[in-house]
Amino acid sequence: MKIENEELKEIIDLWDLKKEVKRKIYKLLDKNPSLSPTFLFRYYVPEGKKNKVSELEKNFSKKFNVKYALAVNSGTSALISALIACGIGPGDEVIIPGYTFFASCSAVLVAKAIPVIAEIDESLTIDPIDIEKKITKYTKCIMPVHMRGLPSNMDKIMEIAKKYNLKLIEDCAQADGGSYKGKRLGTFGDAGCFSFDYFKIINTGEGGMFVTNDEKVYIRAQSWHDTAACWRPDRYARERMPGELFYGENYRMNQISAAIALSQLEKLDRYLNKLRKNKKRLIEYIGEVKEVKYAPVNDQEGDCATSLVFLTEKGEQAKKFIEQLKKEKVPAGGIYDKDIRDWHIYKYWEHIIEKKTPTKEGCPFTCTYYKGKIPDYSEDMCPKTLDILSRTVIVNISEAWDEKDIKEIAEKIKKYIN
């Protein structure tokens, strides 16, 4: 059965995409009045038609200056593929920050490894000092997360990974296009993982990308993301290298998601430059602050600039500040509120605190291959993280602001900031 052009257009109209993005998709559809399901599939694109997924991988690889890019159906899929590809599994520990969406933690558990939760510092990213405190002889990997587009301290993290011979997988779900000292986030370690879901900088509804410079890691990620191994030159051939073929999942990206991502990738740097310009102007208009402070940023130039972060001395001050800003219609909010459950904060990860598993066996917490001591998971295991998040005030930045908007928002912030 063929999928008619108009049916696809109705689906696309439901997506919150910019008009120029939709026009490009419609142009793709108009060239193919009646698209077969084969055309929408990751592989087996009809002769003479462009494979949008392959094109996206090629363009992403070029823009991020990496050898290999693999398009997947979500950021979580990218993380799981990266962990499996890097050989993380039963008996291993992976250090992650206490401030990230639970998917980061879940990916570690899916790989049958043990998550170790570390503190963040005032940059809202993982604290390198606490990383080193959390390392044991079972630690296999560090997973920094560049939350809210803010780059982690990659110099320190790389130094630690090298010192202890650890794998490094970057979670760039909220930092598509960000950088650290001129180098794209996601390209420092063994693998980088990106998300293209509704709330991300590149938005295809659902989708993600895995990148690496290691051919073996890339091939293993391909195997995991496509258990049928359709990516191979000869799909049914015997294994070409040890560790190439094994059972896996189905994390493939489809052609429509790739077409949307291609359009947004093309405009990524222009979009980020606009955000950075608006954030810089907002700070200039606000000027010096006293009772609160600007949160430190590990690399101002590489910040995706999706938000401006303030830190107060006490949590109650942050609450009052946020209330006043909201009254003034400033797009502001907090992160940690004791009365609000948020799965971006480890305190509410009851899945792991209570060691909840899908089956009664309790794997990986009961895995016989793991010889270490299960971390003492609790709601107060990372007090520094909770303190910092309770004192945080976020002002969301928009690329659509003009000079007048920025000045007005700055005046409203200045009205209450001191």
Distance CA 142, CA 154 (A): 11
46: CB partners within 8 A, 6+ apart? 36, 38, 39
Cα gap 365→79, rounded to integer Å: 20
Q: Say how many residues make up the chain.
A: 418
- 195-204 burial, b at 16+ Cβ within 10 Å, e below that, comes to bbbeebbbbb
Separation of first and last alpha carbons in the chain = 65
Distance, in Å, from the CA atom of 7 to the CA atom of 33, rounded to the nearest integer, reads 11
CA distances from 57 to 20, 52, 257 (A): 21, 9, 12
Q: Report DSSP letters for 66-124, one per residue.
A: -SEEEEES-HHHHHHHHHHHTT--TT-EEEEESBS-HHHHHHHHHTT-EEEEE-B-TTS
Burial readout 32-64 (b: 16 or more C-beta within 10 A, e: otherwise): eeebeeebbebeebeeeeebbbebbbeebbeeb
Please answer whether residues 267 and 368 qualify as being in contact, where contact means their C-beta atoms are separated by less than 8 angstroms: no
**How many CA atoms does the CB half-sphere of 124 hold within 13 Å?**
31
**Nearest CA among 245, 193, 337, 261 for reference residue 17:** 261
Active-site residues, by number, are 200
Tell me the backbone φ, ψ of residue 128, rounded to 5 degrees: -55, -35
Q: Which two three-digit tokens encode residue 182? A: 């001129």
Q: Which long-range contacts (CB under 8 A, 24 or more apart) does 213-216 make?
A: 213/66, 213/67, 213/68, 213/187, 214/68, 214/190, 215/67, 215/68, 216/241, 216/243
